[in-house]
Amino acid sequence: MVFGTGCKKFLEETDPSNLTPDTYYTIPEHAEAALAAGYAQTRFIGGGAGIFVANFSMLEVVTGTARTETGQNSDLNNLVGLQYNGDNLLVRNWWNGLYSVIAQTNLVLDRVPAITPMDETRKAQILGEARFLRAWAYFYLVRLYGDVPLITKPQTTESEDFLPQRKSLEEGYALIVDDLSQAEAAGLPWMDASGRASRAAVKSLLAKVYLTMAGQPLNKGAEYYRLAADKAKDVIDNSGATLFATYADLHSLAQENKGEHIFQIQYLASVAGNPMQQLLLPNFKNVSAYSDEVGSTVPTTQFYNSYEPNDLRARDRQGFFYTSYYDGGDGALKPLNAPYIFKHFDVVANGTAGTKGTAQADLNWPLIRYADVLLIYAEAQNRADGSPNAQAYEALNSIRRRAQIPVLAGLSQTTFEEAVWRERWHELCYEGQTWFDMVRLRKVYNEATNGFDAFVGHKFPDNPTIVLAEKHYLFPLPTAEMRNNPNLTPQNPGY
């Protein structure tokens, strides 16, 4: 009898080391850890996508401003040639990575409210940060894939909507705006040097969302240009964010999460190092401490040559590019005979003159930069009011002054708008921005004419056989996801 009772008690006991969502979210530290896991999921952008490629490349090589020096990854090659479909690994990784962020933030939003006792101010901030991250992920999804499932609760195989249907773009943007509006009211600081989402990050992202809604495909026009301008102006006037004095600060470890950097993906070599340094280096030209130098994503010469004369951003190792570097990272300076991306170059990891690199990259990856906010304001105010005001000119010209090129004045609405667009191409290159500008504007910068072509029919200067078509407004849904969930049909047009 005693033996039987003991067995019954043993079988009824709960293993304290077996944590589940029902048993984990019980103390404030659990809320912090769960939110940190949401931030960690954003690192999928730098995650691998087969040999010699990371996911960030998808948004660059389809713009015509980037090419590859390695031909060993067929998925990357298909993106370069605009011949991709739903089987493409990078297309699938973006879908899965974004929904991983959403899954983690849904857990935070569902479980953290019930944690007691907990400081209510910090609880509100955690929920606000989670809403920001969820909105950030959905904003990518609707721009990349169009109508997508809107999952707002934690899922299990028993969930009623475990095989969800796609929702309209209007519903998707409504969720994004609602999440960001609630995050605005969450009591976040204007800036946060720890790398967490801040009020400036929330308002900057909301300005970008409104600007996108004003353009294609929703085409909401003047009202949303006004909303975008007002949000951007709020950041300009109140956040304390500033342009860095030098471009070197953009990739300086000492300047991370401050000044111009409003929101970044966080890296620390001892925990999760930046994996993109080797991919951006010239293909095995021995200019760093790394043994692998891939050249996975590098600038096209045509785009590099499109900068205005004397533009500091195109000056070797002073702006966004380098055309020479030190042998082995720390030896004699040598020419490279092509431009490479200096904007994301980790000097400590790669090395510099007389100083050997560590081959361990701590450098963060930019997601929202103050320069983008200035250009959002300039474009949106001009469209909302019919002509640029003094602050719009100042927003545009502050970026041009830093580049040491002439300031602009006396432009019409149209010529000012195109000047802002050109500045977006030249200032925000290789930050995952250009493709989305192409889609919302239905325009593409033409490096040869310095003007803008219609999206459909634009030929890539680096290879004029590559031509943009209407199908390219959206990426295809991943084939594997459509097999797993028949409710995702139909596939996007043209795929």
Give the 3-state DSSP-derived string for 218-267, with helices as H, strands as E and coil as C: CCCCHHHHHHHHHHHHHHHHHCCCCCCCCHHHHHCHHHCCCCCEEEEECC
DSSP 308: P
The Cβ of residue 477 has, within 10 Å, a number of other Cβ atoms equal to: 25
**Residue 437 or 5, more confident:** 437
Q: State the pLDDT at residue 149.
A: 98
The residue among 239, 201, 72, 216 whose CA lies nearest residue 146 is 216
| Cβ-Cβ contacts under 8 Å for 408 (sequence gap 6 or more) | 393, 396, 397, 400, 416, 419
Q: State the pLDDT at residue 3.
A: 36
**What is the spatial distance between Cα 267 and Cα 84, in angstroms, rounded to a whole number?**
30
* 336-387 pLDDT tens trace: 999 999 999 999 999 999 999 999 999 999 999 999 999 999 999 999 999 9
Percent pLDDT > 90 in the chain is: 93
* 240-250 pLDDT tens trace: 999 999 999 99
Q: State the pLDDT at residue 8.
A: 38
Q: Which helix (H) or strand (E) holds 335?
A: strand 333-341
Give SS3 for 341. strand
Question: 222-246 b/e with 16+ CB inside 10 Å = b?
Answer: eebbbbbbbbbbbbbeebebebbee
Domain coordinates in residue numbering, the chain: 23-174+456-495, 188-266+370-452, 267-363
The residue among 57, 129, 66 whose CA lies nearest residue 93 is 57
* 5 pLDDT above the threshold of 60: no
Q: State the pLDDT at residue 71.
A: 87
Q: Is 357 exposed, middle or buried (0-12, 13-18, 19+ CB in 10 A)?
A: buried
| Cβ-Cβ contacts under 8 Å for 468 (sequence gap 6 or more) | 82, 444, 455, 456, 457, 458, 459
**What is the spatial distance between Cα 234 and Cα 470, in angstroms, rounded to a whole number?**
36
* Start-to-end Cα distance in the chain: 69
**What is the spatial distance between Cα 104 and Cα 134, in angstroms, rounded to a whole number?**
9
**What is the spatial distance between Cα 364 and Cα 253, in angstroms, rounded to a whole number?**
8
291 contacts 378 by C-beta, under 8 angstroms: no
**Residue 155 or 406, more confident:** 406
CATH node for 23-174+456-495: 1.25.40.390
* 187-233 pLDDT tens trace: 999 999 999 999 999 999 999 999 999 999 999 999 999 999 999 99
Mean pLDDT across the chain, nearest whole number? Answer: 95
Residue with tokens 């039987």: 4
Give the ranges where 81-198 is alpha helix by DSSP (H).
89-111, 120-145, 169-184
**Confidence class for position 23, pLDDT limits 50, 70, 90:** confident
Question: 29-47 b/e with 16+ CB inside 10 Å = b?
Answer: ebbeebbebbbbbbbbbbb
Whether 23-174+456-495 shares its CATH topology with 188-266+370-452 is answered: yes
| Cα distances (Å, whole numbers) of residue 348 to 163, 270, 295, 330 | 47, 14, 19, 11
**What is the spatial distance between Cα 454 and Cα 67, in angstroms, rounded to a whole number?**
21
* 119 pLDDT above the threshold of 70: yes
Q: State the pLDDT at residue 313.
A: 98
Give the pairing type, strands 321-326 and 261-265. unpaired
The residue among 247, 249, 231 whose CA lies nearest residue 239 is 231
Q: Enter the pTM of the model.
A: 0.95
* 7 pLDDT above the threshold of 50: no
* 54-95 pLDDT tens trace: 999 999 999 999 999 998 999 999 999 999 999 999 999 999
**Residue 49 or 160, more confident:** 49
**What is the spatial distance between Cα 42 and Cα 45, in angstroms, rounded to a whole number?**
6
**Confidence class for position 11, pLDDT limits 50, 70, 90:** very low
**Confidence class for position 43, pLDDT limits 50, 70, 90:** very high
Q: Could you tell me the fold of the domain covering 188-266+370-452?
A: 1.25.40
**Tokens of residue 85, six digits:** 């479909």
DSSP string across 77-100: HHHHTT---TT-HHHHHHHHHHHH
**Confidence class for position 413, pLDDT limits 50, 70, 90:** very high
Q: State the pLDDT at residue 19.
A: 63
Taken as a whole, the chain contains a residue count of 495
**What is the spatial distance between Cα 332 and Cα 354, in angstroms, rounded to a whole number?**
9
Q: State the pLDDT at residue 17.
A: 52
